[in-house]
Structure 1
């Protein structure tokens, strides 16, 4: 369907394009680092979700494929898009952090502005950098030491000022499968042994976003990144972008050669981890889930529950229940499922159990 000379993409067209970019129509043979780079990072508040996210996207993925990258400093965890923790390649840490610096500074002002009012934030950032480069610190430990210098200030606000103004990466064992405990931080420059990039224009980042999440509107780009005023950059890029409209008439931008397989392309069942970026990276998320489903998947305290896809769309949530020697994958569908889909979910769920529950002697997939 076209409007004038501009093609209209419906919900299923956008869904299949998104799944193709997200390596969810068929498992990719990319190495783990290549997949993390292609996805422009993976949201990673907890250590385990990126492992499940790569397992569901990559052929033959094993825990050690990512764990080795964390230990060798080829991937790192730090605050980036939307002011949230992301697992990214070392190259993307260096390239993306300067682009997002302004948005992170604004986010700090919005969350802790009153508690930091009147402070010389550059002095706070400088002392914070010195402290974490001397030895990795938790945010709590960093806040306590900063409060020695500014005893009248909230230690948590001081620590977050440093985290938003200085590129703090979380050091292992944080980021390793199954590891718990508080995250300790040092600077990206100290951990990686190189400076951040000098380029802060968003143009390349926008093109990378489109490769992983397009087609998309300017508002989609802003929701994903946490930045504002990206229309100017899109205007610069427009001559080399493909332009479409969605069913509501919104302009959507894309890379001309990016995959758009069409709404009839088959989509296998897939399991997504907590916090998967596919659910977080558009202003209009109808291409993957409904508003009613969103209210169930997104909790009030900021959690995004694990979900499963049927025919490319969110169809329910899942959870892993483990006791000594036994593991169960419990599926909670949002509505009736065809028998063929239940069978496919049971089969794929068994593979997820084999990956995530490892040595459990007894495993089962059951529907709640």
Structure 2
């Protein structure tokens, strides 16, 4: 078995579903199928963004799987060194030689954990962008996330967001409204059924805590089984809270109510499975919405789905001009998929020279 294969196997079905959705949408390149105007650059950009987003979901799932694999391997090495330190000094941190490496490894563990949660959050937000894109909801897809569709916290009601409600009011009384509400409802069912109650709230709260907040205190639980030491990292029960806030609001249970009673590896693998299941279910919903859209040709206010941004790059880098792309002989080598996207967007003139 190759490197990372255990974790990549967890997302294989989801990646296949995202691949199939991307390929199907790419095959529907004709502008008329999208109810978009011919020759309109922004309409072509919108279509390409929707078509390419399933590939982004797939990439983020793979990145999450690889990050989890690297985190698992580093945790194994960390546990081995801590166990050796216990045998030598009586404590996980007591052996001076091992303690240096154990403490250095903490930063590396944090890097892999951050990459894991950032990638999973990005995959979920990508699914939300596809839901908005294929159903023609009047929300800019390039800035869409799951909060554009559902109000936080998601549990227990999974209410639609104020932003989505405003957009849906614009299509009331039309066939498009029914298409949109069914796509949102299907997406909701897919997310709810992908894991235990509260899983998505916890995932996004933990992602936000790692990216934007002061770090939470990490508790390591030492478990001894048949004379062997295991060191579990306990995830915070309420990652959106600060340490003191969480402790103050904990029930009489004290520390056990401050953290989840399982190792972070167990939680992370469960979350990867949940996002993978949500991806499979959601891709089926999105394709069903697209097929209906293609048949009914609803009147879509596509400009509300795409916002023009400033063309001024502003940032020129730190050493501009030191690496300039100069395709040899005027040639640019692209993957078959990217070539089709560029052709569909009228970016490349692939006609043979006269």
Q: Please, what TM-score do these two structures have when normalized by structure 1?
A: 0.25
More strand per residue: 1
Q: Please, what TM-score do these two structures have when normalized by structure 2?
A: 0.26
Q: Which has the higher contact order (CA 8 A, sep 6+)?
A: 2
More helix per residue: 2
